[in-house]
Amino acid sequence: MAEAKRRASNLVHKCKRLKRTTPYGTVKKRHWEAVLEEENYRQPNLKIAYKLTPAHLKPKGFQVMNVPLATEVFGHEISVAMAHYQPYCEELKDSTATQKFIDLVFNLIQAMSSRIPRDALYVNENCRRRKAIQEFLEFLADWEKLEKKIPVSRSTLTGLKVTCKVL
């Protein structure tokens, strides 16, 4: 799962086009950068995504393999910050698809890394963690139909699908 988190983070900070077309719409690296700018320079006293730093978006050296950094890029507070700043910040006007993508990956991470029984994954059809994993798998299937090449290797994508496969 750590590898999957790191690969998801690579989508943000290592993509060459700086934007990706997904079933939700276009996900842009610029949206993360806009949140960082908004919080650090325009609104330094009000921080919603307080964990987001330049190291998250432009990691140096071995920071690329830092799983906590990768996980924080997809934190719920990042999508909340985007939604909060969306009316005020011109770069975030079209960030709805990015917000949905962040929430999707955040829910997957929560489902795969629960440590207490209350948040555990159950076989029960009503389990919200199970639904999050199924939603992610459906998203991947739709994304593969939409784009010929998803920005992760074929073997990583296959490994992620096998890891996420639910009974």
pLDDT in tens, 154-165: 888 888 888 888
Give the residue numbers spanning the domain of 76.
2-164
- pLDDT tens for 70-87 read 899 999 999 999 999 999
Q: Which helix (H) or strand (E) holds 22?
A: strand 19-22
User: In total, how many domains does the chain have?
Assistant: 1
What pLDDT, on the 0 to 100 scale, is given for residue 167? 46
More confident residue, 23 or 165: 23
Look up residue 38 and give its DSSP letter. I
pTM: 0.83
Average pLDDT, integer, range 116-124 = 82
Residue 97 has pLDDT above 90, yes or no: yes
**Which amino acid is residue 20, in one-letter code?**
R
- Quick one: pLDDT at residue 154? 85
Burial class (CB in 10 A: 0-12, 13-18, 19+), 126: exposed
Q: Do 77 and 112 touch, CB atoms closer than 8 A?
A: no
Cβ contact 25:139 at 8 Å: no
Task: Pick 165 or 52 by higher pLDDT.
Answer: 52
Q: What does the buried/exposed string (b/e) look like for 18-50 if buried means 16 or more CB atoms within 10 Å of the residue's CB?
A: eebebbbeebbbbbbbbbbebbeeebeeeebbe
96-123: b (≥16 Cβ within 10 Å) or e: bbbbbbbbbbbbbbebbeeeeeeeeeee
> What is the mean predicted confidence (pLDDT) over 57-67?
88
pLDDT at 16 over 50: no
